[in-house]
C-alpha cells in the first residue's frame, strides 16, 4: 500500500465505467452473486453488535465539518482537514493544508497523496495517528465508539456501483472519512461517510455491502486519529 496513490481521476473513472458497460450481463450478475455470498456471513455476524438502537460515532456533529474537496486529487487532505477540525475544535483551510503537505512532499496536485502519508498532516498538528491494514468492521465500530476519527481507503467507482469491483485492476483511489455506523435497523446497517469527492457527500449513507466492497479495494486500510 505504501507506494499507491489515492486520487480522484474522474477521467480515468469514466473510461473504466464505459468499459464496464461492455461486460456481458450474465458475467456481471455472477460476480455480484459471489460478492453477496461472501459478504452475507459477515453482515449476519455483525448484527450481533447492535441492539436495535445503536449508532457508532457522532455523525450528526461530524458531518458539520464536511465540504467538497477543492482540488481534483485532494481527497485525503480534505479528510484530514475534517478530522483536525473535529478533534482540535478549530477551523483549517484546505488550501493551507495542501500547501503544508506539498512543501513536505506528502501531496502532489497531479497524483494525490501517497497512502503511507495519509495522516502526516494530523501528526504535524499534534494528533496521535495509527495506520492499519485489514481492519474489521467490528474494530472500525469500536474506534468510532471510542471517539477516534477514521479515514479509510476506498474505490469511488465501487461506492457508486459495487459491481465495478470485478473489473481488472480495481484498487483504492479515494479517501473518505467514516463518521458513523447506523445499526438501528440490524437488517439494513448503514455506513455514514463524509465523502469530499461528491457534491452530496456530507453525511452520505451507503449500505453495508456496498461500503465493504469499496473498502476491500484498499485491503481495509484505515487511518485513525485521536488526541494524544
Structure confidence at residue 37 as a pLDDT band (50, 70, 90): low
Question: Quick one: cell of 214?
Answer: 469499496
Q: Alpha carbon 215 to chain centroid distance?
A: 7
pTM for this structure? 0.83
Question: Quick one: cell of 53?
Answer: 438502537
Which pLDDT score, from 0 to 100, does residue 197 have? 97
SS3 91: coil
- Return mean pLDDT, the chain: 85
Percent of the chain with pLDDT over 70: 77
**Is the confidence at residue 160, as pLDDT, over 50?**
yes
Q: In CATH, what number is assigned to the domain containing residue 149?
A: 3.90.70.30
Percent of the chain with pLDDT over 90: 71
Number of domains in the chain: 1
**Is the confidence at residue 65, as pLDDT, over 60?**
yes
Q: Higher model confidence: residue 162 or residue 203?
A: 203
Which pLDDT score, from 0 to 100, does residue 57 have? 97
Compute CA distances 55 → 99, 139, 143, 220, whole Å: 36, 14, 12, 21
119 phi, psi to nearest 5 deg: 110, -15
**Is the confidence at residue 173, as pLDDT, over 80?**
yes
In 3D, which of 76, 81, 154, 151 has the Cα closest to residue 111? 76
Domain that holds residue 113: 5-227
Which pLDDT score, from 0 to 100, does residue 170 have? 87
pLDDT tens for residues 78-103?
999 999 999 999 999 999 999 999 99
**55-57/174-182 β-pairing:** antiparallel
Q: Higher model confidence: residue 94 or residue 20?
A: 94
Which pLDDT score, from 0 to 100, does residue 10 have? 42
The predicted model gives 61-75 an average pLDDT of 98
Compute CA distances 181 → 52, 71, 118, 131, 147, whole Å: 12, 28, 22, 20, 13
Structure confidence at residue 168 as a pLDDT band (50, 70, 90): confident
**Is the confidence at residue 47, as pLDDT, over 90?**
no
Distance CA 213, CA 59 (A): 21
Which pLDDT score, from 0 to 100, does residue 22 have? 45
Amino acid at each position: 500500500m505504501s507506494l499507491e496513490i489515492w486520487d480522484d481521476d474522474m477521467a480515468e473513472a469514466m473510461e473504466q465505467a464505459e468499459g464496464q458497460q461492455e461486460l456481458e450481463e450474465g458475467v456481471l450478475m455472477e460476480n455480484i452473486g459471489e460478492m453477496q455470498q461472501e459478504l452475507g456471513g459477515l453482515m449476519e455476524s455483525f448484527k450481533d453488535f447492535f441492539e436495535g438502537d445503536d449508532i457508532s460515532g457522532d455523525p450528526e456533529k461530524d458531518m458539520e465539518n464536511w465540504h467538497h474537496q477543492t482540488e481534483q486529487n485532494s481527497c485525503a487532505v480534505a479528510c484530514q482537514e475534517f478530522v483536525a477540525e473535529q478533534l482540535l475544535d478549530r477551523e483549517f483551510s484546505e488550501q493551507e493544508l495542501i500547501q503544508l503537505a506539498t512543501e513536505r512532499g506528502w501531496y502532489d496536485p497531479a497524483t494525490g497523496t501517497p497512502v503511507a502519508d495519509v495522516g502526516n498532516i494530523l501528526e504535524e498538528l499534534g494528533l496521535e495517528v495509527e495506520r492499519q491494514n485489514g481492519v474489521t468492521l467490528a474494530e472500525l465500530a469500536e474506534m468510532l465508539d471510542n471517539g477516534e476519527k477514521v479515514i479509510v481507503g476506498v474505490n469511488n467507482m465501487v461506492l457508486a456501483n459495487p459491481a465495478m469491483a470485478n473489473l481488472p485492476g480495481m484498487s483504492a483511489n479515494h479517501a473518505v472519512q467514516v463518521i458513523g455506523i447506523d445499526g438501528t435497523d440490524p437488517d439494513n446497517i448503514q455506513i455514514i461517510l463524509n465523502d469530499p469527492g461528491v457534491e452530496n457527500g456530507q453525511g452520505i449513507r451507503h449500505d453495508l455491502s456496498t461500503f465493504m466492497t469499496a473498502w476491500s479495494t484498499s485491503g481495509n486500510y484505515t487511518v485513525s486519529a485521536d488526541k494524544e
